[in-house]
Amino acid sequence: MDLSGFKDGLEVIVPHPLVIRVPLLGYPTPTAKWSCGDKELTAGDRVSIVTRSSYTELTVAPSVRPDKGTYTLHLENDVTSAFGEIEVNVIASPSAPKDFKVSEVTRHHVHLMWEAPEHDGGSPVIGYQIEKKEVSRKTWVKVYLMSTL
C-alpha cells in the first residue's frame, strides 16, 4: 500500500466526489476495508469501493461537509495485513452567521451585529460581504466588504 500521495491529506470541495485511489502490491490480492472514524464504509447510495490487483479506490459522491475526517484503509490477505490513514478535509460554504441582529437603522446607515458561523466550511472565515436590495429592485448590490484579519 502506497499512501505517499496523501502525506499532506486530501481536500475536496463540496459537491465534488471524494476519491481516494491507493496503489496495491501483494499476492494474493488483499481484501480492502475502508472506514471513516469508527464507522466501516460499505458500498451504497453515495459510497463506491473498487479493489483490483493493482489498486483500491474509495469514492464518496457527492461529498458533503460531514465527510471530513480520518479515513482508514485496512488490507488483508492470507500472508499479512496492513493499514494506513488519510486525513480528508471537506471545503464547503460556511453556514450563516449566528445571532444576526439589526441594532440601529437611520436614514443614512444601519448597524449590524453577528457572531461567527457555527461551521467555517473547512477553512477560516476571512471576511464578510454586506449587500442590500431595494424593495423595488430584483438585484442585490454590494455595500461593504469587511475583513476579519
Instruction: Tell me how far apart the terminal alpha carbons of the chain are, to the nearest angstrom.
Output: 41
Say if residues 85 and 70 touch (Cβ distance below 8 Å): yes
* Distance, CA of 104 to CA of 112 (rounded, Å): 7
113 within some domain: yes
pTM here is 0.75
What local confidence, expressed as pLDDT, does residue 39 receive?
A: 94
* Distance, CA of 61 to CA of 55 (rounded, Å): 19
What local confidence, expressed as pLDDT, does residue 146 receive?
A: 86
Q: Are residues 87 and 15 in the same domain?
A: yes
Dmax (CA) of the chain: 78
What local confidence, expressed as pLDDT, does residue 122 receive?
A: 81
Nearest to 12 by CA among 58, 56, 43, 45: 58
* Distance, CA of 21 to CA of 19 (rounded, Å): 6
What local confidence, expressed as pLDDT, does residue 14 receive?
A: 93
Beta pairing class for 10-13 and 81-91 = parallel
- Residue 66 structural domain: 10-91
Q: Are residues 109 and 85 in the same domain?
A: no
pLDDT tens string, the chain, 149 residues long: the values are 889 899 999 999 999 999 999 999 888 999 999 999 999 999 999 999 999 999 999 999 999 999 999 999 999 999 999 999 999 999 998 888 999 999 999 988 889 999 989 888 888 888 899 998 989 999 999 998 888 87
> Which set of grid coordinates corresponds to residue 35?
472506514
* Distance, CA of 76 to CA of 26 (rounded, Å): 10
Q: Are residues 27 and 42 in the same domain?
A: yes
